[in-house]
Amino acid sequence: MGKLRTLLAVLVALLISSVSFADEEYKFDISEIEKKPYHIGGYVEFRPAIFWLDNNAALYKLRFFNRDEGKTIEEYNGNLQLEGSYEKGIARVFALVNGNLTYSYQGWSDSLNLFEGTLSLKPSNSLAIDLGKKTQKWGKGYAWNPVAFVDRPKDPEEPDLAREGFWMASADYIKSFNGPLKTLSLTPVILPVYEHINDEFGKINEFNFAGKLYLLLYDTDIDLMFLVGGSKTTRFGLDFSRNITTNFEIHGEFAYINNFKQRTIDEQGNVSESKSDAKSYLLGVRYLTKTDTTFILEYYHNGTGYTKDEIKDFFSFINKSYETYLSSGNQAPLMKAQNVAEGNYSRVNPMKDYLYLRVSQKDPFNLLYWTPALTGILNLNDGSFSFSPELTYTGITNLELRLKGTANVGQTGDEYGEKPGDYRLELRVRYYF
């Protein structure tokens, strides 16, 4: 509890110091509204966190089988995200770079990644061409996007975070009309996969082609998309979004994946592989009340996910492998479990059906700059869930403070019950420039 008190004390000190900053006088400078050919911005972030471990959980045994970390572990993250652009004539260059420095139970680690880096050419108002590394951001869902065929998956616990893109060539052609169909746009995409070029996307030495057709039809946003090529199996998708009223929106997605390959392991350690046509879909709503309370509710069916029995077999194999390690020192079964988990059971939300709810309140009780929120993710297949209360303060110019806790709740054999930690508390201090 001493570590928890330290985190809370840091937060209180930062909030108290904000009073003088919040009262600063704003001075108008006309040069600030003049369009410049270049832009540089980003943020620097410090994010300490405490994890309360569950040494009886299967995923704890898989990760820490040869370590004794006690009841809690600490982690300290420093993050720097920079973005810049330069525009001249029909050309625009854009780059988004993310750097991370972390100290955890494994020691120091660092990374520096180019998330996006594109050269854009706009020869006319209706045509734009992009070359480089890019995130397409397909899909209308907030927490999940089953139709995001050329993007990396979101983390539903932090869906707003920037994600690393893939190297590609793409274009956008836009046409406007009078009548029920107001706008049409076409986005073709070419995505190569070779060693050291998009090699995380799928099978290497292949060219992949994707495309999206956007329609604004009867005031409804509709997208039709596809992906073909040798790196992944063929897949098709559709999404939509419509404002029923000014403060009530509905959205949905549907994805069809041909010949999806899935690896499973039973409680004896036998690995099997199967192929099937998977169908994933999402349906959600977003509602804003007159008192500035925002509700986001989404149901997600993951056609590529595992059943309740398949997950339980995986956890049972880990437990048996851990007992073998304790009795004989043989790590081979645990290494096998780690190998099978990679890209399969270790995916974010690896099971079939989930419900997502986020409720946030802006300036509650007329407390300016404060935003409390609560996020919950429920696994409908086994009843386990996570919930995350948070409190954000933005009363200091360009500074954001957020205190967030997360609890994983579930029984033995359930997804959230077998997480390596029961609770997490983190403080995020982010300064924008």
pLDDT 10s digits, 290-325: 999 999 999 999 999 999 999 999 999 999 999 999
Q: Average pLDDT for residues 390-404, to the nearest whole number?
A: 98
Distance in angstroms (rounded) separating the CA atoms of residues 320 and 269:
9
**First CA to last CA distance, the chain:** 34
pLDDT, position 425: 98
Looking at residue 384, its amino acid is: S
Express the helix, strand and coil content of the chain in percent, nearest 5 each.
Answer: 15, 55, 30
Q: Percent of the chain at pLDDT above 90?
A: 91
Residue pLDDT, tens place only, 44-58: 999 999 999 999 999
Q: Are the CB atoms for 231 and 258 separated by under 8 Å?
A: no
Distance in angstroms (rounded) separating the CA atoms of residues 13 and 403:
13
pLDDT at 374 over 60: yes
DSSP class of 30: G
List Cα–Cα distances, 328 to 133, 323, 419, in angstroms.
Answer: 48, 9, 25
pLDDT at 414 over 90: yes
pLDDT, position 39: 95
* DSSP-assigned states of every residue in 370-426: EEEEEEEEEETTT--EEEEEEEEEEEETTEEEEEEEEEEE--TTSTGGGSSEEEEEE
pLDDT, position 35: 76
pLDDT at 7 over 90: no
pLDDT, position 175: 97
pLDDT, position 57: 97
> Can you name the residues that pair with 274 across neighbouring β-strands?
262
pLDDT, position 11: 43
Q: Average pLDDT for residues 337-351, to the nearest whole number?
A: 93
Q: Average pLDDT for residues 216-240, to the nearest whole number?
A: 97
Alpha carbon 392 to chain centroid, angstroms: 19
pTM of the model: 0.89
Residue pLDDT, tens place only, 159-171: 999 999 999 999 9
Distance in angstroms (rounded) separating the CA atoms of residues 285 and 207:
36
Angle between helices 332-340 and 308-328 (to 10 degrees): 150
